[in-house]
Chain A
C-alpha cells in the first residue's frame, strides 16, 4: 500500500528558554498513514497533536528519526517545496488564514505563488470553490462570511494547490454546529471523491467517529489506533488519559456497569437506539 506519511522513530523537543530544560514531546513515535485514507488524530491538550501535524509539511523538523511525506525526507532542504506542495495545512482560526479582500483572490494566493499562468489559476480557483460549495460567494468579502464559510474558503485555498494530503488542525473548534457540519461534509467529500488523504486533528469525538481510522496520542506515544469502533470501545483507556468516548458509547458503558451487557460499538444515535431497543423490547 502507498504511504502518504511515514513517521519513523520521531524525536522532538522544544528548546527550553534560558535555563529551563527542553520540553520533550516525542521520544520514539512511529506512525504510518496510507494514501487516500481519512485519519483522525485525538489526544488531550498538550499531547503533541499539533506538533506532529507541523512535521507533516516541514514547519518543524525532527530532532531525531525521520518523517517521510510521499517518500520524501522532510528534513531534506531540497525537497522542502515538493513536500509543501504535497501536504496542505488548515488551522483552527479561519481569520488568521485569510489574506485577501475578495474570496476568489484569497483562494488564488496559493496557485499564484506556485507560479501558474493566469488561465490555470482561474481554473483551479473555480474548481476549488465549487468543491467546497463556495463558488457563489467568489466575489464576496471574506470578513462578512460566517465562520463555517470562512473555513471552507481556507480549505479551498489549500485544495487550489492540489495537494495529495490535507492536514486540518482543529478546523471546527471555533464554529457553531451548522458550520461544523459544513466543514465535516466538505472534507469527507474531498476524501471520498478526490481521494485526497485527510488527517483531521480534533477534540470532537463525533467528528473523529466519521474517520476511517482513529489514532489516539498520549504522552508522545500512540495510545490507541484502529477503526472508530475499535478505539471508542476502549472507554477506560480514554478516560484514563482525559478523553471521552462519544455520548452513545458512554451511555452503553454506564448501563453495562448495571448489568445491561450492551456492545460498545454504537457511534450514532440511531444505532444506539436500535441496540437499546433490541435489549429492552418486550
Chain B
C-alpha cells in the first residue's frame, strides 16, 4: 500500500535563471504515516516554509513530486483542489487572517468552500469550536473583539473545520504565554487522536517539539539533515548547534552532567530527566 504522503526528490528554486537564484529545497524525500506527530525544525531560510507550501499544493515542484495516498497532487486540477482540503495549513500568526463578521462565519468559510450542506457545516463549526476550547457563545461575536489568544484559536478552528487528514502548523504557539502554549498544543494533539490525523508542527521551541513529536525532521540549507525520533536527533547536539538551532535546555544539563563524569545518557524531556536522576540516586522515583 502506498504511504499516506510521500515526497519524492522535491526540488524548488526561487528566481531561477537570475543572479538571485536560490535553491530553497534540494532533492528532499520522506514519507508520512497517518496519526504521526512530526516536528519540523530548522533556522530561518532552511526551507521549512517552502516545504510546507508544497504539501498542500500552494507551490508546484520544479522537479520531484508530492504523492497523497499514491496519487500525485498535481495529476489534475480536481486532485490539486482536493489536496487543499485534505491538507490543512495554519500559517504563523494566523489571527491576522481572520476577516469575517462573526466567529461562526470565519470558521465556516473553509467547509463552505468545500461545498458541504448547511447541516454538515454547522456540525463542523461546532465541533471545531469545541476542539479548540472556545465557548459557543463567542460564535456570534466579531472575531476582532476577541483577545489575541482567542483569535489564534478561531483561526486554528477554521482549518480544523475542514477536517484535514494532514494538519500543518507553522509556529502555532508563538507569542503565547506558557499556559496558552500548553493549551494550544493539547488541542492539536487532541485533534490528532480524535481523527487519527497526521500533524506536522514547525517550531523554534525545542522543548515543545521534543515533548510533542514522535519524529523530528531537521532542515538545513534546503536539505533534510536528520529525520528520526527526538532522542536520536538530540544526540547530535553539536551539529544542531552548528546549524544555528537550539537544543532543549535539559539536554544541555545532561550533556554537562556527562562531562562531569556522571553515567547519564542525554534526555530531552523533564519526565526523562527526573527518571534518569532518580535511577542514579538509587531506588525508585517515589523514594
Contacts and interface: CB of A to CB of B under 8 A. Distances in A.
A269 B249 CA distance: 6
Interface in A225-282: 242-244, 246-248, 250-251, 254-255, 258-260, 269-270, 272-274, 276-277, 280-281
A203 B149 CA distance: 14
B245 interface: yes
A44 B256 CA distance: 32
Given A45-B148, A243-B178, A280 B277 contact: yes
B8 to A, nearest CB: 28
Interface residues of A, number: 42
A46 B147 contact: yes
Contact of B253 (A17, A92, A243, A269): A269
B244 interface: yes
A27 to B, nearest CB: 20
A179 B281 CA distance: 39
A251 B274 contact: yes
A247 B257 contact: no
Given A178-B43, A203-B176, A280-B281, A269 B204 contact: no
Residue among B45, B249, B270, B280 with the highest chain A CB neighbour number at 10 A: B249
B149 A176 contact: no
A176 B204 contact: yes
Contacts of A244: 178
Contacts of A92: 175
Interface in B155-188: 174-180
Contacts of A247: 207, 248-250, 270
Contacts of B214: none
Interface in B247-282: 248-250, 252-254, 256-257, 259-262, 270, 273-274, 277-278, 280-281
Given A242-B178, A243-B177, A176 B253 contact: no
Given A177-B244, A251-B253, A203 B177 contact: yes
B9 to A, nearest CB: 27
A17 B145 contact: yes
B273 A173 contact: no
B177 A242 contact: yes
A45 B177 contact: yes
B177 to A, nearest CB: 4
Contacts of A246: 249
Interface string B87-100: 00000110000000
Contacts of A148: 44
Given A177-B246, A280-B280, A273 B179 contact: no
B277 A146 contact: no
Contact of A269 (B93, B175, B256): B256
A277 B259 CA distance: 10
B287 A255 contact: no
Interface in A140-196: 146-148, 170, 173-179
Given A258-B278, A277-B260, A280-B280, A174 B253 contact: no
Give the interface size class of chain B: 35 or more
A76 B103 CA distance: 41
Contacts of B44: 146-148, 175-176, 178-179
B139 to A, nearest CB: 17
Nearest to A147: B44
B2 interface: no
B286 interface: yes
A272 B255 CA distance: 11
A23 B249 CA distance: 38
Given A44-B177, A273-B257, A258 B249 contact: no
Contacts of B148: 45-46
Contacts of B179: 44, 242-243
A184 to B, nearest CB: 13
Contacts of A260: 277, 281
A105 interface: no
B114 interface: no
A258 B254 CA distance: 19
Nearest to B241: A177
Given A175-B204, A177-B43, 7 more contacts: A46-B147, A174-B93, A176-B43, A205-B178, A247-B249, A269-B252, A277-B260
Closest 5 pairs (CB-CB, A-B):
A242-B179, A273-B256, A269-B252, A247-B249, A44-B177
Interface of B: 43-45, 92-93, 145, 147-149, 174-180, 204, 207, 244-246, 248-250, 252-254, 256-257, 259-262, 270, 273-274, 277-278, 280-281, 285-287
7 contacts: A173-B174, A177-B246, A242-B180, A246-B249, A247-B207, A250-B270, A273-B252
Interface of A: 17, 43-46, 92, 146-148, 170, 173-179, 203, 205-206, 242-244, 246-248, 250-251, 254-255, 258-260, 269-270, 272-274, 276-277, 280-281
